[in-house]
A and B are shown apart, each in its own frame.
Chain A
Amino acid sequence: MAFIELDRVSKRYGAFYANRDISFAVEQGRLFGVLGPNGAGKTTLLRMITRILLPDEGTIFFAGEPLAQHHQRRIGYVPEERGLYKNLTVLDNLRYFGQLKGLSSTEATRRALWWLQRMDAHGWEKKKIRELSKGMSQKVQFIVSVLHDPPLLVLDEPFSGLDPLNAQVFLDVIAELRAKGTTILFSTHVMEQVEQLCDDIVLINRGRIVESGSLRQIKARYGIRRLELAFDGDETFLQEFDGISIAERRNGSLSIELSGGIEQAQRIIARALAHGTVRRAECIEPTLREIFIETVRRTETEEVAA
């Protein structure tokens, strides 16, 4: 059963639609990425799922029930911009936000200290937020979202501005939570992370969904676009193929842009074997970055045309 489901959800500001007709489902325990260029409506979408904003049209379901106020206690949220009381200590911040999620003061304190330890941040509890660096306060912000052990975690651009070391701490924790069955929804425009992490994605542009599904399905749909061929011999045979071009040539290795997908690649490899020595041949799937750029461009030209 879908843990989160959106059914034709729209959010409007005057005549402007921040989100329009959004429908998708997030299965329990999956890592779900919301992708889109700046201003696509990612933050508005996440705010509706966390019930900070209410949709103007459509319904959001949380574990099968229409999303209601009491569900907020089962959602953890890291907003895009950090929001902590600068003049209060780390522990005071964590304890207060934990209590707002329904924890007792002692329980919130206990969990806060545990999480600070887990995030390589022990000994910070008495520090004021204003004394922390950006990366440090980001960790505290993350702890705020997981303190009450929510089954749904919503992260808005969680990795922006993290150094590689800290980013790894975050990735490890996210992997742990997921292994425990936590459903995690996050928005980003850093495509490499999506490829590493996500099970499923939606790609939104100008408030609408332009692509959705599991990463595997989407890549399969876009097909094989490129062939990497390490080849010794006469390469004139390549002229037999229509609609291909050599994108790059390096150390006796060719990068060939295809027009006919996997079948074309197979035929090129067969001809190459006949004409020389194939040291290595690899069919390359499009990167998410390429799919992203292509889809956004395509939908924008479609919209202009419409």
Chain B
Amino acid sequence: MNTSWLIARHEFLSRVRTKGFIISTLLAPVGLLVVLTLPILVSELAQTQGTHRIAVVDQSPHGLAPILLAKDSSLFFVATEPTSTLRARVLADSLTGYLLIPPDGLERDSVVLFTRGGGGLGLQEAVNDAVREVFRRQRLLARGADTTLLRLAEQKTKIERIKITRERTERDQTALLTIVGYGMSIIVYMLLFIYGGIVMRSVLEEKTNRIVEILASSARPFDIMLGKVLGVGAVGLFQMLLWIVLGVGVSIAVGSTLVSLSGAPTPAGALAHYRAQENDVAVLLLQVPSLSFGHIAAFVFFFLSGYVFYSALFAGIAAAADTEQDIQTLQAPVSIFIVLPMLVIPLVMSTPDAPVAAILSLVPMFSPVLMLMRLFATEVPWWQVLLSVVLMVASIIGAVWIAGRIYRIGILRYGQRPTFRQILRWIAEG
């Protein structure tokens, strides 16, 4: 145990001091931010149809063209040329298309859009939304509806969600927490691969450079493996701590900038905004989630336990391998269990209380991702949480024991890659 501690400390210090660690600590949040915001940015950009222009040819007597123009002047303009000219302009690409409203268009509720095809779903949706809204209003107005009535009809009903607990009633944050939980699960999933990979590569490096023989002349193989797993795990925790500090620092800086820009305190402004657009996911993400201690503890526990479980197995695999290719082959049966929860996570997100979600989340290989997801998305019965923790701890002990046996034999074996049957025999015979 004493030597495990020495080895863990060496692993930690020699990794934290490298340029690679500093760079990855600084760049990873940027990368994550890009991954998270890119889809939103892209769809925002897609909505501004800056380059698309559609001429409106209004043959109806209702004067619909100006109303459409008022709706979206960047997209629509009133045609002054005959359709034959418009047609030529479309073919010459100086115009995206033209919208023909027939004389009885409003009565028959139909228009025709002429384009060269393509343009994507964004363009179609923009035209659809504008035309349908304008037509609906005009139909209702034609039947004598007044504008006050129209506004009433279009008003969205606000559904305030209140969570009832034995102690008190509070605002229900289910939607927000589910999204945060999803983010946390994805982070755990990625970290399992990243840090598991670090353990695997470093075990292989020590084996191929024969360093492990020196280590084994000073410590038990099991202690060497444990020290490595714990040391790299400490690097992971340390990196996360830095990210949190970095994140809090950046959000304080950004927050104060926002306050000075808007001239209003951010939380109130954000809340007003939130009320206005109840169902907008992007807005939810901008909210600062009020996470409980339990949520943070769950994240730390499931990250750490998943990490120890998988990285111990990865260490065993690397010890059995001779080359990177060997690792690719041997790791597949382990990696698959990290990936599988990702396939069912949408199910767990939408129905976290369903029996199938509960059962899957209790399977130790899946718990780090799925139980974590459920803990954010719903109130998990206490006995399930307890059971999950017990199963997780038991599986960690099992995984470390199995990995230790593979490691002990594997590190001094060179030459042919062992078969899975041979590895099973190593485990059985020790």
Q: What residues make up the interface of A, taking CB atoms closer than 8 Å to B?
A: 47, 50-53, 69, 72-73, 75, 77, 79, 81-86, 88, 92, 96-97, 99-101, 144
Cβ contacts A to B, 26 pairs, < 8 Å: A47-B213, A50-B217, A51-B217, A52-B217, A69-B220, A72-B219, A75-B217, A79-B210, A79-B213, A79-B217, A81-B210, A81-B213, A82-B210, A83-B211, A83-B213, A84-B214, A85-B14, A86-B209, A97-B214, A97-B218, A99-B6, A99-B10, A100-B3, A100-B6, A100-B219, A144-B214
What string of 1s and 0s marks CB contacts (under 8 Å) between B319-348 and chain A? 000000000000000000000000000000
B216, CB-defined interface residue at 8 Å: yes
Q: A77-B217, A82-B210, A85-B209 are in contact. List 4 more A-B contacts (CB 8 A).
A: A79-B213, A83-B213, A88-B14, A101-B218
Closest Cβ–Cβ distance, residue A143 to chain B (whole Å)? 12
Closest to B18 in A: A87
CB contacts (< 8 Å) of A100 on chain B: these are 3, 6-7, 215, 218-219
Contact B220 A83 (CB under 8 A): no
Contact B412 A47 (CB under 8 A): yes
B206-242 CB contacts (< 8 Å) to partner A: 209-220
> CB within 8 A of A72: which of B6, B10, B217?
B217
Docked Cα-Cα span, A50 to B216, in Å, equals 9
Count of chain A to chain B residue pairs whose CB atoms are closer than 8 Å in the complex: 53
Closest Cβ–Cβ distance, residue A126 to chain B (whole Å)? 15
The SS class assigned to the B binding surface is helix
CB contacts (< 8 Å) of B217 on chain A: these are 50-52, 72, 75, 77, 79
Docked Cα-Cα span, A100 to B7, in Å, equals 8
Docked Cα-Cα span, A171 to B210, in Å, equals 25
Asked if A84 meets B412 with Cβ closer than 8 Å, knowing A72-B217, A100-B218, the reply is no
Contact B218 A72 (CB under 8 A): yes
Closest Cβ–Cβ distance, residue B153 to chain A (whole Å)? 70
Docked Cα-Cα span, A83 to B218, in Å, equals 13
Contact B214 A79 (CB under 8 A): yes
Docked Cα-Cα span, A72 to B6, in Å, equals 16
Closest to A76 in B: B217
Docked Cα-Cα span, A101 to B6, in Å, equals 10
Interface centre among B7, B210, B218 (most CB of A within 10 A): B218
Interface centre among A50, A73, A83, A101 (most CB of B within 10 A): A83
> CB within 8 A of B214: which of A53, A73, A77, A88?
A77
Contact A83 B214 (CB under 8 A): yes
Residue count of chain B within 8 Å CB distance of chain A:
18
CB contacts (< 8 Å) of A82 on chain B: these are 210
Docked Cα-Cα span, A96 to B210, in Å, equals 16
CB contacts (< 8 Å) of A96 on chain B: these are 10
What string of 1s and 0s marks CB contacts (under 8 Å) between B40-77 and chain A? 00000000000000000000000000000000000000
CB contacts (< 8 Å) of A72 on chain B: these are 217-219
B1-16 CB contacts (< 8 Å) to partner A: 3, 6-7, 10, 14
Closest to A95 in B: B10
Docked Cα-Cα span, A72 to B224, in Å, equals 14
Asked if A84 meets B211 with Cβ closer than 8 Å, knowing A47-B412, A96-B10, the reply is yes
What string of 1s and 0s marks CB contacts (under 8 Å) between B346-364 and chain A? 0000000000000000000
B181-220 CB contacts (< 8 Å) to partner A: 209-220
What string of 1s and 0s marks CB contacts (under 8 Å) between B65-109 and chain A? 000000000000000000000000000000000000000000000
Closest to A156 in B: B213
Docked Cα-Cα span, A27 to B215, in Å, equals 27
CB contacts (< 8 Å) of B212 on chain A: these are 83
Closest to B3 in A: A100
Docked Cα-Cα span, A88 to B217, in Å, equals 20
CB contacts (< 8 Å) of A83 on chain B: these are 209-214
Interface centre among B7, B10, B213 (most CB of A within 10 A): B213
Docked Cα-Cα span, A97 to B6, in Å, equals 10
Closest Cβ–Cβ distance, residue B430 to chain A (whole Å)? 10
The 4 A-B pairs of least Cβ separation, nearest first, read: A83-B210, A100-B218, A77-B217, A83-B211
Closest to A51 in B: B217
Interface centre among B6, B7, B211, B220 (most CB of A within 10 A): B211
Docked Cα-Cα span, A58 to B187, in Å, equals 52
Docked Cα-Cα span, A103 to B10, in Å, equals 14
Docked Cα-Cα span, A47 to B217, in Å, equals 8
Asked if A92 meets B218 with Cβ closer than 8 Å, knowing A53-B412, A83-B213, A84-B211, the reply is no
Closest to A69 in B: B220
Docked Cα-Cα span, A103 to B215, in Å, equals 15
Closest Cβ–Cβ distance, residue B429 to chain A (whole Å)? 10
CB contacts (< 8 Å) of B10 on chain A: these are 96, 99
Interface centre among A52, A92, A99 (most CB of B within 10 A): A52
Asked if A92 meets B14 with Cβ closer than 8 Å, knowing A72-B218, A83-B214, the reply is yes
CB contacts (< 8 Å) of B7 on chain A: these are 100
CB contacts (< 8 Å) of A84 on chain B: these are 209, 211, 214
Closest Cβ–Cβ distance, residue B316 to chain A (whole Å)? 18
CB contacts (< 8 Å) of A51 on chain B: these are 217
Docked Cα-Cα span, A69 to B222, in Å, equals 12
Closest Cβ–Cβ distance, residue A266 to chain B (whole Å)? 51
CB contacts (< 8 Å) of A52 on chain B: these are 213, 216-217, 412
Closest Cβ–Cβ distance, residue B170 to chain A (whole Å)? 53
CB contacts (< 8 Å) of A81 on chain B: these are 210, 213
Docked Cα-Cα span, A290 to B296, in Å, equals 74
Docked Cα-Cα span, A84 to B3, in Å, equals 18
Closest Cβ–Cβ distance, residue B212 to chain A (whole Å)? 7
Closest to A88 in B: B14
Docked Cα-Cα span, A84 to B205, in Å, equals 11
Closest Cβ–Cβ distance, residue A44 to chain B (whole Å)? 9
Docked Cα-Cα span, A83 to B211, in Å, equals 4
Docked Cα-Cα span, A23 to B355, in Å, equals 64
Docked Cα-Cα span, A96 to B214, in Å, equals 11
CB contacts (< 8 Å) of A73 on chain B: these are 218
CB contacts (< 8 Å) of B214 on chain A: these are 77, 79, 83-84, 97, 144
Closest to A97 in B: B214
